[in-house]
Structure 1
Amino acid sequence: MVLLTTKTMQMTAVFITFGGLVTSLITTFLPLWKTMNSDLNEMENWYSGLWHMCLYTEEVGMQCKSYDSVLGLPSDLQISRVLMLLSVFTGGLALLVAIPGLDGVHVCLDRFGKRRKFLILAGVLSWVSGITTLAPVSVVAYTTVVEFWDKGFPDVMPRWEYGEAMFSGWFGGLALLLGGTLFFIAVCMADYDLKMATSVTNSSLRTRQYRKTEVL
C-alpha cells in the first residue's frame, strides 16, 4: 500500500503513544478508581482515587479531600501511585527520545544507525510505560473484586466497585503497548527500505560494469 510507509508508521506510533500517555496521566489523578453507593442513602456516592477521596451529593455536588497519611493507605494504592508516576515519566521520555529518530525531523539525517536506536529506545520506553500503567490498574481491580466478594463483611455493608478510571487506565496502557509495538514495526520497515535501496544500487552498479565490459 502506498500510504503504509515508514514515515506514516512512525507518526502513527507517536500519535498512539501520545494518546496513551495523556490517558494514563488523566487516570493517575482522576479520583474515580473505585466507587461506592450506600443502599441506606442512595443520594450519596463515594469515589476513591490514588490521591483523593470524594463524596458526591445532589445538594452540594462533588467534595474531595486528600488522604490524611500516605502510610495509612492500603499497599495496593501506595504501589499504584509509584507505578503510575513512573508510567507518565517513561511515556513522556519515550516521545522525547522518538523525536530525533523520526524521518521528518532534521536531526541525525546522515546517521541511520543512530536514528534507528532512538526509535528502538522509544519503543522500549513506551512498553515500560504501558506495563506500569496496566499493572497498578489490574492490581487495584483484583483487590476490589476480592473485597467485594469477601464473605467476612455483612451483606448490608456497602462495597467498593470499579470506577471509570479503571477502564481508562486499561485503555491507556494498551495504547502505550501498541505505540511501542508500532515503533518497532517502523524500525523493521526502515531496515527493509534500506536493504531494498542498497540492493537496487548494487544492481545498477553491476549493470553499468557489464555494459562497460560489453563495449570494451
Structure 2
Amino acid sequence: MGRIAKEVSGQILCFIGFVGICVCCGIPMWRVTTYIGANIVTGQIVWDGLWMNCVMQSTGQMQCKIQDSIMRLTQDLQAARALIVIAIVISFIGMLLTFVGGQCSSCLKKESSMAKVLILGGILCIVAGVIGLIPVCWSSAYTISDFQSVLTIETQKRELGASIYIGWAASGSLLFGGIILCTSCPPSEDVYPNYPGMYPYQGPMYGPPGSYMPAKTYAPSAVYTGAYVPNKPYPPPTYSPVPGQYI
C-alpha cells in the first residue's frame, strides 16, 4: 500500500470515528427501558442519554426532557459527559493535523515536517479513541449488571442503547485510523548535513558566454633566479691512470 493510500484511508477512518463520537454524544439512547403493561396502550419506551431523557408512548407521541442537574445522573453517565466531550475535542484536533500534514495539502513544504505532523495527528486520534472507549464500556458494564440484579424491578430494567454500539464503532475507527497514520514514517535525513565550519566546493568561475576564467593563482613566496649555488663547495674528483677508477 502506497503512502498516499495509507494516509487517505487513515483520514477517512478518523473522520468516521469523529462523526460517530459526536452522534454518540448527541442522541439520548445510552440506555433503553421498555415497559409494556397488560394492555398495549400502556406500553412506553424510555431513552436515557447524556443530556436528555425521552419517553415514547405506544401511540407514537414522544416527550423529551433536558437533564437540568448532572447529579441526577448515574456515575457512569456523569463520567461519560466529560470523557466524550474530551474525546470529541482531541479527535477534532487530531483530524485537522492529519489534513495539514497530508500529501494532498500544501500547508507544509518539507516532507519530514509533513510526516511528523501526520504522526502527531494519528497519536491524538488513538488517544481520543481510547478516551471514548472508556465511558462506553463502563456504561455497558453498569447496564448489564443492573439488568442482571435481582433487586431491580422488572419494569425498570435497562438495556443497551444504540449509543453504546455507535461509541464502540467510533472508538474502533479512531484507533485503526490513528494506527494507520502512525505507520507513515518520515523520510531519512542527509547523512552529512552542512555543519558549521565546513566549506562547500567552489568550481571554476565562468564569465560571460564564450569566455573562460581560470581559478585564482597565488604568487610564490620566493623568486627563482635559475642558478643554484651550493652552500659548501665540493672539490672536483681526481682520476687515477687506471681507466674506470678515480681517487
> Which residue identity lines up with residue 75 of structure 1 in the other structure?
Q
Structure 1 residues not aligned, in runs of 5+: 199-216
Name the residue aligned to 1:159.
Answer: 157
> Which residue identity lines up with residue 22 of structure 2 in the other structure?
L
Between the aligned partners of 1:87 and 1:142, the Cα distance in structure 2 is 20
Structure possessing the higher radius of gyration over alpha carbons? 2
> Which structure 2 residues correspond to residues 9-158 of structure 1 after superposition, within 5 A?
9-40=6-37, 43-109=43-109, 111-154=110-153, 156-158=154-156
Between the aligned partners of 1:86 and 1:97, the Cα distance in structure 2 is 17
> How far apart are residue 57 of structure 1 and its match?
1.4
Higher relative contact order (Cα pairs below 8 Å, separated by 6+ residues)? 1
Between the aligned partners of 2:104 and 2:34, the Cα distance in structure 1 is 52
Structure 2 residues not aligned, in runs of 5+: 191-247
Match of 2:93, SS?
helix
Between the aligned partners of 1:172 and 1:32, the Cα distance in structure 2 is 15
Match of 2:69, SS?
coil
Equivalent pair of 2:122/2:177 in contact (CA under 8 Å): yes
Q: What is the number of equivalent residue pairs in this alignment?
A: 188
RMSD: 2.0
Between the aligned partners of 2:130 and 2:77, the Cα distance in structure 1 is 17
Q: Deviations over 1:131-171 (max 9, x none)?
A: 111111100000001111112234x4430100111101100
Normalised to the residue count of structure 1, the TM-score between the two structures is 0.81
Q: Displaced runs of 4+ in structure 1, greater than 6 A?
A: none
Between the aligned partners of 1:44 and 1:36, the Cα distance in structure 2 is 8
Name the residue aligned to 1:201.
Answer: none
Identity across aligned pairs (percent)? 25
Normalised to the residue count of structure 2, the TM-score between the two structures is 0.71
